[in-house]
Amino acid sequence: MSESWFEQIPNGTIVTPQGFQAGGLHCGLKKTECNDLGVIVCEVPAAAAAVYTTNLFQAAPLQVTRQSLSNGTLRAVVVNSGNANACTGQQGEQDAYTMRAETARQLGIAEEDVAVASTGVIGELLKMDCVTSGITRLPAAIGGEPEHAEQFCQAILTTDLVKKEIGVAVQVNGRQVHIAGAAKGSGMIHPNMATMLAFMTTDAVISAENLQQLLRTTTDQTFNMITVDGDTSTNDMLVAMASGLAGHEELTPEHPDWEAFAAGFRQVCEYLAKSIAKDGEGATKLVEVIVNGALNDLSARAIAKTVIGSSLVKSAMFGADANWGRVIAAVGRAGEPLNVNTVDIRLGDIVVLTDSRPVPFDEEKALQYLQGDTVQIVVDLHYGEGQALAWGCDLTYDYVRINAAYRT
């Protein structure tokens, strides 16, 4: 991916692309006074696409959003935090449809133009009096300024410590096109089709079909390559909306600027994915696994995700322990073909294994490196041309503390 194809926009937000506004407020779902209800609105019908969790227990909002997206367009997405509205039966489904209907009424748009997303505790019914009251106040909270994007970002957080947002610009037919994103996610993170909650906006001219294909491909390379704890949520959803207000020739894979747009699109996804991994519950560092020389890219991805998801590897990273044995054991159990005699492993630039045999290294230097806030594990299999990147975090005492008392 060439960085010359795009530039990151300083202080870029979900409302940077033309045609988008956002907002957020506190409606009473959270015990604190933090925002817990937000909305993104497009002034025109936007081409839209989405990917969802593959967990069989899918929350009610996903069913509603699927129905809204059946025609490939959206005008808005309404989001609540503090309650997942998952495993809540017929009442939960009805509540999700009520959220959609009330949002549409307040914005003066069709119900089918509204997507719904929820995040929080599973198995509890929404306090719909709080939700509907909050939705009636949303129009007054909506705007196109950075502070409105900030309020939206705060509204989608649960155990997150920081907001996650980015904007980039690319050139299409000589015109500047914006791509932006915002996401939440800190625990129950092991995407397998989508991730947590993430939202993307762009003013590019692109069909819903091409946006959907790009979203799926890019998700596999970014959001599907992160893990915090190996758990796939019931509510994971990634929604992308394109207003088309940049006014250039329609983007297709045959367009001369398609690669530039795809690179910018991937940059937004990768930045958000890495931000989620770095903000994993209790995490003290971002861990990046690079796999080279696998049979193919799919094989490399499987190996990289096995290493990044290993509790033993994650624990070693927390303890700054250069225990490469944890890494090679994960590589070996990934179920992918390899030559057990040709594996090299590095921790940063510190070589610890060559041709599957240990190499003497400076333990103190390794300790200092592993105590940093970003750690890179490089595995070279010398077996094929496959490559992959995966991101995660260390496993700490605080992860157990946070999740032992999540409901209380």
Q: Which residues are catalytic?
A: 195
Helix, strand, coil percent values for the chain (each to nearest 5): 35, 30, 35
Q: Indicate the helix (H) or strand (E) that contains 101.
A: helix 89-107
What token pair was written down for 309? 């998801």
Contacts of 23 (CB under 8 A, 6+ apart): 38, 39, 138, 141, 142, 143, 148, 151, 152
Cβ(210)–Cβ(253) below 8 Å: yes
The dihedral of CA 275, 276, 277, 282: what is its sign?
positive
Task: Detail the DSSP E strand segments found in 90-215.
Answer: 114-121, 164-172, 175-184, 197-202
What is the rounded (10 degree) CA torsion for 50, 110, 41, 96? -60
Helices (H), 201-257: 208-221
Q: Side chain identity at 371, as an amino acid letter?
A: Q
Distance of CA 258 to the CA centre of its chain: 22
Q: Quote the CA–CA distance of 168 and 56 in Å, as a whole number.
A: 34
H or E segment at 152?
helix 146-155
Residues in the chain: 408
Backbone angles phi, psi at 353, to 5 degrees: -150, 135
Task: Return d(Cα 20, Cα 42) in angstroms, integer.
Answer: 5
